[in-house]
Amino acid sequence: MSPLATRTAITDAPILDVLAERWSTRIFDAITPIDEDALASALEAARWAPSASNTQPWRFVVARRGTDAHAAIVDALAGFNQSWAADAAALIVFAAAASLDGQPLRWAAYDTGQAAAHFTVQAHASGLHTHQIGGFDRAAIGAAFDFGDDVSAITVMAVGTLGDIAAAPEALRERDLAPRTRRPITESVVVDA
């Protein structure tokens, strides 16, 4: 079994297995196509994420490896991200609409983040691996997909099958095999009355 196959978090309190077992790889199988059923389930989970007043401000670009859309997203990624994310079977852009019917959607980025989180958890539960990417040119993504002034990219997510750790470059192996850590919850909770 690959050392990457099981990387269950050591938690201070019990959490759902799907959450404890979810982690972000940079090592994707560059040949296996996306599991279309698993992708459809992940997109459906994203669709059912909560949003302020049920405005659903999220917009998704689903780009499969080998398509012009996938290449455009790879081109918009920061250098290091290009080196590994191009192998992902799909790249998903999570974007947010800034307004609805002329009214600003103040929580659009937050709600879109929830859609991305729901996608991630469902993808993992369905056997896919993911990695969210913040290092990309938002203007290039917007131009490539005609977002206009009202829609902006929030994150890009690499999605696919876990790759072979032994075949990965050393820099990726080191990052993916590094211990999983989080600061203690006491450092995040400001008030616990």
Q: Is residue 24 included in any domain, yes or no? A: no
pLDDT tens per residue across span 24-43: 999 999 999 999 999 999 99
Q: Is residue 66 included in any domain, yes or no? A: yes
Q: Is residue 1 included in any domain, yes or no? A: no
The CATH code of the domain that includes 52 is 3.40.109.10
Q: Is residue 17 included in any domain, yes or no? A: no
The residue-averaged pLDDT of 152-158 equals 98
Domain range for 97 is 34-164
What letter represents residue 131's amino acid? H
**What's the structural domain count of the chain?**
1
User: Per DSSP, what are the bridge partners of residue 92?
Assistant: 62, 157
Candidates 162, 175, 129, 130; CA nearest to 31 is 162
Q: Is residue 183 included in any domain, yes or no? A: no
**DSSP state letter for 30:** S
How many angstroms separate the CA atoms of 145 and 147, rounded?
Answer: 6
pLDDT tens per residue across span 74-131: 999 999 999 999 999 999 999 999 999 999 999 999 999 999 999 999 999 999 999 9
- Contact in structure between 169 and 113 (CB atoms under 8 Å): no
